[in-house]
Amino acid sequence: MAQGRLITVAKKELFDHLRSRKFLLIFGILLVVAIVGMIGGITEYNKALDNYNKHQSTIDSPLSSYIAEKPSILSVFASVATYLVFVGAILGIAMGFDLVSKEKESKSLKILLSHPVYRDEVINGKALGGIAALAGALFVVLFIALATLLVYGIVPDGSELILIGIFAAVSFLLIFSYFAIALFMSTAMDESGSALIYTIIVFIVLSVLVPTLANDTVMESVAGSQPEIPQELLDQMQRSVTNATEGNTFSVTVANKGGSGAWDEYNERVQAYWEKRQMVKDTFALFSPTMDYQSVTSAITATMTPGFVLSAGNGVATAFSVSSGEATSVEDIFGKILANLVALLLFPAVFFGLAYVRFMRLDVR
């Protein structure tokens, strides 16, 4: 019986959302930006793939596989993530800011609670209805995104489909996070206007202010400046840069006079610096679902191992030791984004918990 009442409330909220003009409007905007983002991402992917194939066929060198990285299909979703981080948040806010407050204003909440229905069934039903609407909207967006890939003749493999699934899951968690924040404000405020204003303030703090604090100036003040290359090593370096017709390639050599120990020591210092800086940035990200989402999507959509590391061997050696160029495994990516995933799970859980407690104690006289 109790489960039946909960489902009844959830269905009622779901159909209210699906008939809502604001939901349909924002959902329509979300579809448009997703399609535009996919088409733009596919265009960039095809260009990068053409450049990669051209490099592989024209450059005969041991480093030919590193001069141009083979693009990943996941890079197509980078453009979608850029739009989704804001439009998705707005969708979540629009769906949640008046769920309870509008019933306070119309006095219908008192009538609803006078029926044989428990308060927890009401708040849980409202949340489930919102979750179902959000999940349905995101499913449609994901379906259209995959259909767009197939139209352009791009077929993801098994590991890429897993990463696309993770992308969809974290996108849902981002939207649900702001929905939960809006729901809490709706239970805490007596008017929908006040709930919307306070929700927008929280959105600005979490999506603009916190990321702004994690800028280069703050990073350098906390982690310090990047270690400079000692003059001894600078004297050993001989640089030659070749600008190709399309894209840049770099050939850097070292005249090694005293072994690789100095280079190894410098590399360790640089690596330790960037690890410390990344740790500080990750700490800031834990307080912002927007930063968590961007960290996760960046790790997913950039699945090639980047970068060069200074090194030297006996005699004359290459100054840069490039990465293997192989795609990062799903397990490695999951390990990197685990903390951000936990944070994205905690945000909606915390704010829904606050909304639940507030609603259970709500005075509806």
Give the residue, 2 or 102, on which the prediction is more confident. 102
- 78 pLDDT more than 60: yes
If one counts every other C-beta atom within 10 angstroms of the C-beta of residue 233, the result is 19
State mean pLDDT over 11-27. Answer: 87
- Flag whether 221 is in a domain: no
Is pLDDT at 143 greater than 70 in this prediction? yes
Strand 237-243 to 308-310 pairing: unpaired
Helices 261-285 and 216-223: crossing angle in degrees, nearest 10, is 120
* Number of domains forming the structure of the chain: 2
Q: Indicate if the pLDDT at residue 245 is higher than 60.
A: no
Residue 82 has pLDDT above 80, yes or no: yes
Mean pLDDT over 182-201 rounds to 92
For residues 257 and 312, is the Cβ–Cβ distance under 8 A?
no
**Overall average pLDDT of the 336-349 stretch:** 87
Quick check: is 97 in a domain?
Answer: yes
How would residue 302 be classed by pLDDT, with cut points 50, 70 and 90? Answer: confident
Same domain flag for 30 and 83: yes
Within this chain, do residues 101 and 141 fall inside the same structural domain, yes or no? yes
Instruction: Out of 62-76, 88-102, 195-209, 258-272, pick the least confident.
Output: 62-76
Look at residue 222 and tell me if it is in a domain: no
**pLDDT digits 0-9 by tens, 113-124:** 777 778 888 889
Q: Do 303 and 204 belong together in one domain?
A: no
Q: How confident is the model at residue 46 (pLDDT cuts 50, 70, 90)?
A: confident
What is the per-residue pLDDT for 281? 75
**Do 180 and 273 lie in a common domain?**
no
How much is the pLDDT for 351?
93
Average pLDDT of the segment spanning 13-39:
87
Q: What CA–CA distances, in Å, run from 263 to 8, 231, 271, 285, 365? A: 68, 12, 12, 33, 74
Task: Kindly tell me if the per-residue pLDDT of 31 is higher than 60.
Answer: yes
In this structure, are 333 and 318 located in the same domain?
no
Task: Report pLDDT for 280.
Answer: 76
Residues 176 and 313 in one domain: no
pLDDT above 90 coverage of the chain, percent: 14
Clarify whether residues 52 and 132 are in a common domain: yes
Judged against a pLDDT cut of 80, whether residue 315 lies above it is answered with: no
Residue 220 lies in a domain: no
205 and 238 part of one domain: no
Mean pLDDT, rounded, for 72-92 = 85
Query: Is residue 353 a part of any domain in this protein?
Result: yes
Does the residue 283 lie in any domain? Answer: yes
Indicate whether this model's pTM tops 0.85. Answer: no
Res 305 pLDDT > 60: no
Average pLDDT over residues 307-336: 51
pLDDT tens-digit profile of 217-243?
A: 777 777 677 777 776 666 666 543 344
pLDDT exceeds cutoff 80 at 185: yes
> Strand runs (DSSP E) across the chain, as ranges?
237-243, 248-255, 308-310, 316-318, 320-322
Task: Tell whether 207 and 263 lie within a shared domain.
Answer: no
Mean pLDDT of 20-26: 87
Confidence band, pLDDT 50/70/90 cuts, at residue 255: very low
Mean pLDDT of 348-364: 88
Instruction: Tell me the C-alpha distance between 295 and 340, whole Å.
Output: 7
Same domain? For 189 and 334 the reply is yes
| 348 found inside a domain | yes
Task: Please give the average per-residue pLDDT across 9-13, as a whole number.
Answer: 87
Beta-carbon count within 10 A of 34 CB? 24
Least confident of 80-84, 138-142, 258-262, 267-271: 258-262
Residue 354 has pLDDT above 90, yes or no: yes
At 200 the pLDDT is 94
Q: What is the pLDDT of residue 259?
A: 47
Residue 2 pLDDT grade (very low, low, confident, very high; cuts 50, 70, 90) = low
What's residue 64's pLDDT? 47
- Residue 224: inside a domain: no
Q: Note whether 144 and 33 are same-domain residues.
A: yes
User: Which domain covers residue 195, as residue numbers?
Assistant: 2-212+329-360
| pLDDT for 203 | 92
Report CA dihedral (141, 144, 148, 149) to the nearest 10 degrees.
70
The answer on 154 and 50 residing in a single domain is yes
